Amino acid sequence: MNDTNTEAGQNGKKRNKLQLLVRLTDMSYSSLVLLWLLLAIMFAFAYFLLETYLPAHAPQELSGLNPWPRFLNALYFSIITATSTGYGDIVPMGISKALASIQSISALLVFAICVTKLVSQRQDLAIREVHRLTFEDIFHNTRGDLFTVRKDLDIIIDEARLASDMNEENWENLIVCFQQAQSLISEIPEFYNDGDDLYTIDPKREKLLMEAVFRTLQRMLKTLDVLDKSGIECRKNEQCLMELHELINVVERVVPLWQEHSPYQKAGAFAGIIDVKNEMKNMIDAV
């Protein structure tokens, strides 16, 4: 039982030390500077008291002075000690050696925390910039890939109108278009991760992204309509039908999340995407 209590006490001390360190690192720069100055003044006052009551344990060169000059010299020695300059014109003796050592360690700790906070802040800014550039790249790639899907669909539409038929390569291209659209649309919620304040898509970019998705789905609807009018049964190609159903499922899953997390758009902004999706679903479900 005693060993358990001892271990618990040690753990409690460790937690208290960690909490103290966390509180220090959470302090602002102005608070840390103020703490450093207060420590310097407190130790200067301690050196002053040593010279007053225990001259043998006080720093040299403080004796024989009036109170105010003596305190100012003690403050000077305290600041020199805190900055680890060490000119040597005033030398600690006796107990003041221990005080000077404690002050030097305390001042270096406060200084180290300031440097750490500064480095951490710069790293955080660098991470934010890298994160922003990464998402900007993802955004542009997403729009660019959706544009590529639309261009591929245009080729399929033109060939279907001319030949009134679909060869194996065209079927494969159509399936790839559906698969690529699934992948691109499913990644849209990543722009709205909860608790992630490193990147926030702005209203203009969100509008462009929404327009790209709408145009892509609209082009797919047009493709299905052209195939149907050309007598090409998209429903007879099992893989094509499967990928089309999966695309509709992706849109049905993503749009509510997109609408929920969007800080800019209202419900009506997603109506066009939902309407095109419903038209596509009705077309492929029709007998």
Length of the chain measured in residues: 287
Q: Residues 154, 220: contact at Cβ < 8 Å?
A: no
Task: Give the angle 212-217-218 at the CA atoms, nearest 5°.
Answer: 95
Assigned fold of 2-93: Helix Hairpins (1.10.287)
Q: 14-68: per-residue pLDDT in tens?
A: 566 557 666 767 778 888 889 889 999 999 999 888 888 888 888 886 666 678 8
81, 56 Cβ separation under 8 angstroms: no
SS3 content of the chain, % helix, strand, coil (to 5): 80, 0, 20
**CB neighbours of residue 66 within 10 Å:** 8
Domains of the chain by residue range: 2-93, 127-285
Put residue 188 in one of left, alpha, beta given phi > 0 → left and psi -120 to 50 → alpha.
alpha
pLDDT in tens, 154-166: 999 998 888 878 8
Its CATH architecture, for the domain 127-285, is: Up-down Bundle (1.20)
DSSP 3: H
What is the spatial distance between Cα 238 and Cα 87, in angstroms, rounded to a whole number?
Answer: 87
Give the torsion sign (CA, 216, 221, 224, 225): negative
% of the chain beyond a pLDDT of 90 = 29
pLDDT in tens, 208-263: 899 999 999 999 999 999 988 888 877 778 888 899 999 999 999 999 888 887 77
Nearest Cα to Cα of residue 213 among 281, 134, 150: 150
59-110 tens-digit pLDDT: 886 666 678 888 888 899 999 998 888 777 888 888 989 999 999 988 888 8
- pLDDT tens column, 116-142: 888 888 887 887 788 778 888 888 999
Query: 29 vs 38, 71, 103, 215, 247, CA distance in Å?
Result: 14, 27, 19, 51, 53
pTM of the model: 0.63
